[in-house]
Amino acid sequence: MENHGARWAAAFGLQGDALVAQRERYERLKQHMVFQIDAAGITDPLTVLATANGSTSNSSSSWSQYFTDETLLEEINTDLERLYPAGNESFFQNELYLSTLRHVLFVWCRLHPDVAYRQGMHDVAAVVLYAFLYTTKDGNTEGDSAKKLPEHAEADTFLVFEAVMLFLKPFYEIVKTRHGTSCENEDSNRLFASFSLKGNENDNGVNTKGAQKKQPALHQLCHHIQYELLQQKDPQLYYHLQNLEIVPETYCLRWIRLLFAREYALKELLWIWDAMILDNTRADVIFPVINMTDKSDNDLLQLPKLISKNEDASWIGFPLLRYICVARLLQLSSQLRQSDNTGCLRLLMRAYQEEELDGEQNRAIELIKFARILRDPMTEETQQCEDGEKDCDGESRSVEVVQFQEGSLGIILTAAGAQYEDRLAVKSFTRDPTAIGGVGQAEASGKVRLGDLLQSINGVPIIGVTTEEVKRRLQLIDRPVYIGFCHCSDAFGNENTAASDGSEAVEVSDAAESSPRSDTALSELVLPVFLPGELCYANVETSMQRLVLSHDGSCLSHYISGKLFITNYRCFFTRLLGRGEIDWQIPVLSIASIDRIDPHASATTGPASLSVENAQVALGFAPDDSFKVVIRCKDTQVARLSITDQSEYSKLVKCLSFLAFPSSLLEAFCFAYSPTVAPSEEVQFDIRQEYKRIGLLSFPEHLRCIDQSSQYTLCETYPRHLIVPADISDVRLKAAAAFRAHQRLPVVSWIHPSNGATIVRSSQPLVGLKSARSGEDELLVTLSCCSTNKKAFGRYVIMDARSQLAAVGNKALGKGTEISSNYRGAKLIFMNVENIHSVRQSQVSLAAIFEPKKSASEDTSSSFYGRIDSSGWLRHVRLVLKASVELAHTVHNGMSVLTHCSDGWDRTAQMVALAALMLDPYYRTLRGFQVLVEKEWCAFGHQFALRCGHARSDVSNEQRSPVFLLWLDCVWQYIRQYPTECEFNESFLLALADHVYSCKFGTFMFDCERQRKDFFAKHRVFSIWSEINTQSERFTNHMYAPSEQATVLSPSTLSKNIKLWKGYFCRWDPTVIPPVPAFQCY
């Protein structure tokens, strides 16, 4: 009777005389190695061993060997006692089978002392034994009732197991690690883990090709499966696993080492092993030649070898195995994409379930077929022919696979008919001007026909996938790409031609947008182009007020008829007779308030205590019977809409209010946005790498980088990794944190490369009216400011960003400022930067000056400048710049500075980030500025959601304040005074100023790093830097020519040199001459 084991033995070359010789070899090995393990259950094993050897000397040697093997036997027996393979739980409880496995494993481990026994080997050996006991003819095994093994079953099991382990042995090898250093021993007593330069040169988590060669075989194969093969086959799933920080070793280790022994029942597992062992691309196995006439033991220790057909076989193992792993991932793809980190790990680590028993052979065969197609997509043609698929008319459907190079595919895809639900079909061909004869790749292949169903991309089935997802997938996959088309005569049902289909059709190409190819496509140009993930909730017929400059300098208004589209990201207006151009737009979460007037109602939501007519005038409308809506935006835009139809008015107000002020920030567009840019193009910010660049990790004797853990146990609004003095214990760190507001203890943010002076940031101390003090806090401040700066002789500066009056006033709340006499060597100064409430009111006043209104004019030119001055905005700009210049010069002159405001996340961020910009030329580059924002604003906990009022309708909320905008204004003053020193331009600053409110990206979401990581672990988002960097030319200063002088570049803070940022505040005012470009980057 045929069995799988016999097929495997033949595939490994174990036939005829060679098989007889190898069986003899095993019996002789067993005679020399196994006899003592059978004595393990005897009361007096020494007597048995002596009897077997016949001499005292030999018995002594055997006794020694007995103890040597005792540990090995214990490990093997421990695993064999719990050998209950799913679906065959009782099968291996037969003592005859357990004894056979014990012998096989023991002999192999004795022959390979470099690896010995590793957990999981018993599963592999059990599958081999099962293969010799299970016959495919009748599907029966003798099971636990068997009293005797088939002849040579044990020897054959060993030989096949030995051959299989040639492919698996590299994955069981243990890589030796270095012994811990004294430094590591010291860290073992700390509460927080430390990060250092040593051993962390490649800490980005994703291996490079250079690093791969240094890794163990198991890690190389795991990384190859997820980071290379999966990325090429299903990039969306690859990026999903990446964003959830799922490393392949967590699930691939068991798949590879056990060859899926715990993922499938034994009967279906045999078919999977069949495919790997009978695969003609694997390396050949050469067994040692045994001289059967020579009774000496000279040949016994010779081992079989692999004759590699591939130079990388040392880590590949069975060549088909990696594709089987990818096939299993793809079979779980839809479930994985809908799961968070925990859900994905449960799916990937799930063992065989009893309910999966039905159709077990078919399930295994489908997996193997899928893996073979993934390895060579061209084989899909023959696979489908063998399956004999048929269409609705009973006609055979064949599959053609086409190889596509760079460029457009030359096809337009659309949804297929109802009978092929969730499938895409070829609607038409497109021409390619760059190709010979202008014929596109698909048509030129001669294999693609109109009406063909899109079958697969690189062997991965395309079912339930939209045209946009197909485009994104193609943009993320390297060429050449293999696409399968299924010939089908009725893809569009009862429709006569594909062109008559009324569903959305999209050209598939490399480009982000495709050119119109027909009159139908041309007519679609009048419709707006939506972003990936953007959904239109409503479109309303309305008229928008437009203001223009008259000859006398006042504003004249007129209305433009059109449609207002409201999506999950923005609302935008297009005129009726236009060609799809957007005349006005704003992200819905950038809307500050919505005022409306219903002429038929007794009350309005506009100015209080006014009649309907007066309310219309107050809001800038001429009185009439139409419905009015005023949209006030956080970027200072004001849109006035007039609507004649009550139902349209009601639809607009309800939809806009729902989207602009959602109940949860999880409704923000960043969670739906799915651009084609790959996350690999983003700036992967790691604050530890920035600490390394600055030099903060270069003084391990003075400073150390601690890891708060994912629970942020020291301070939840700080970054996870912090720089603190090396000479202070973790217990004292916690005590010092308790003495600061919100536990924002003093930590080092920047160090001067020449003099070692540091910038230290924190929140205010909890001094209170009783002038409390903390010895731990005083020690932490002193060590942070003085340990790397010996030339200052223990002197440093404490810069309180507030005024002295404001700092003293906080004492009544249990807070306050440092008492300088308690901090030896400290000089306390106040920088007089005003609070968030004053800044908020100044921005409102300044924005009102540049809000164009109908018939608005001014009497004298002096009143205009007086209003700008009285708004106080330029005063805030000057004070922040002045404080930052003082900080930068103090540090540059060799004196360390501790700076804070009240909570350490508003004025402190402004001062530290500006000072760093002046001191460090790296931050004046495009990429460096991105790192600066990520570090000082995002990582150190500026409350973007609270200060920007994300998803909040309470306009008067006291915690709203344009703190980040004020800082960007200071940066604009800087690049205006130093036009050649910064690589970025004004457009870059405007883009940041707009997107801090838009919620299109995850960068400025929530209030601290911990909140972002908690939410983003479950939801995929993109950073603003990915879009900035793909359009870097747009944001680059073409006059950039940095000076080579290693000096602080500080701007002038004289009032006459502080100018109004017209590019931001005047861009919506048509009365400004010359006109200011209305730059937007939405």
**Tokens found for residue 532:** 């990936």
Q: Tell me the chain's radius of gyration from C-alpha atoms.
A: 37
Which of 252, 901, 970, 982 is an active site residue? Answer: 901
Residues 6+ apart with CB under 8 A from 572: 528, 564, 565, 582, 583, 584, 585, 586
Residue with tokens 């960003």: 801
Question: What number of other Cβ atoms are within 10 A of residue 141's Cβ?
Answer: 18
296 labeled part of a ligand binding site: no
Neighbour count for residue 847 (Cβ, 10 Å): 22
Calculate the CA 824 to chain-centre distance.
Answer: 46
Residue 615 host element (H or E): helix 612-618
Asked if 262 contacts 269 with a C-beta cutoff of 8 angstroms, the reply is no
Residues 6+ apart with CB under 8 A from 697: 195, 196, 197, 688, 691, 703, 705
Distances (CA, A) of 105 to 117, 121, 257, 386: 8, 8, 15, 41
Q: Is 123 marked as a binding-site residue? A: no
905 is in an annotated binding site: yes
Q: Which residues contact 90 (CB under 8 A, 6 or more apart)?
A: 84, 143, 144
Residue 625 annotated as part of some ligand binding site: no
Peptide bond into 1074 cis (omega under 30): yes
Cβ pair 696, 723 in contact under 8 A: yes
Contact at 8 Å (CB) between 161 and 104? yes
Closest by CA position to 347, among listed 369, 365, 332, 337: 332
Angle (CA) 803 804 807, round 5°? 90
Tell whether residue 952 is among the known ligand binding residues: no
Is residue 1005 within 8 Å of residue 909, measured between CB atoms? no
Q: Catalytic annotation on 344? A: no
Round to whole Å and give the CA distance between 683 and 171.
34
Using CA atoms, how far apart are residues 904 and 907, in angstroms rounded to an integer?
7
902 known ligand binder: yes
CA dist 372 → 218, 237, 1056 (Å): 22, 20, 73
Q: Which two tokens stand for residue 1076?
A: 């200011």
Distance from the Cα of residue 168 to its chain's centroid = 32
Contacts of 519 (CB under 8 A, 6+ apart): none
Instruction: Give the number of other Cβ atoms within 10 Å of residue 595's Cβ.
Output: 18
3-state helix, strand, coil in the chain (%, to 5): 45, 15, 40
Q: Pick from 939, 869, 942, 934: which is nearest to 910 by CA?
A: 942
Candidates 919, 911, 935; CA nearest to 753 is 919
Q: Compute CA distances 130 → 105, 137, 140, 265, whole Å.
A: 15, 15, 11, 11
Distance, CA of 830 to CA of 800 (rounded, Å)? 5
Residue 797 structure tokens: 């500066």
Q: Was 904 annotated as part of a binding site?
A: yes
Own/partner long-range contacts of 883-886 (Cβ < 8 Å, ≥24 apart): 883/799, 883/801, 883/831, 883/832, 883/833, 883/907, 883/911, 884/910, 884/911, 884/914, 884/915, 884/918, 884/970, 885/915, 885/918, 885/1050, 885/1051, 885/1053, 886/799, 886/831
Q: How far apart are CA 573 and CA 562, in angstroms?
A: 7
Residue whose tokens read 């949860």:
664
Measured between alpha carbons, how far is 883 from 829 in angstroms, rounded to an integer?
Answer: 10
What residue spans of 180-337 are helical by DSSP H?
182-187, 209-212, 217-223, 231-233, 235-243, 249-258, 266-277, 313-316, 319-331, 333-337
Binding residues: 835-836, 901-907
Annotated binding-site residue numbers for substrate: 835-836, 901-907
Positions marked catalytic: 901
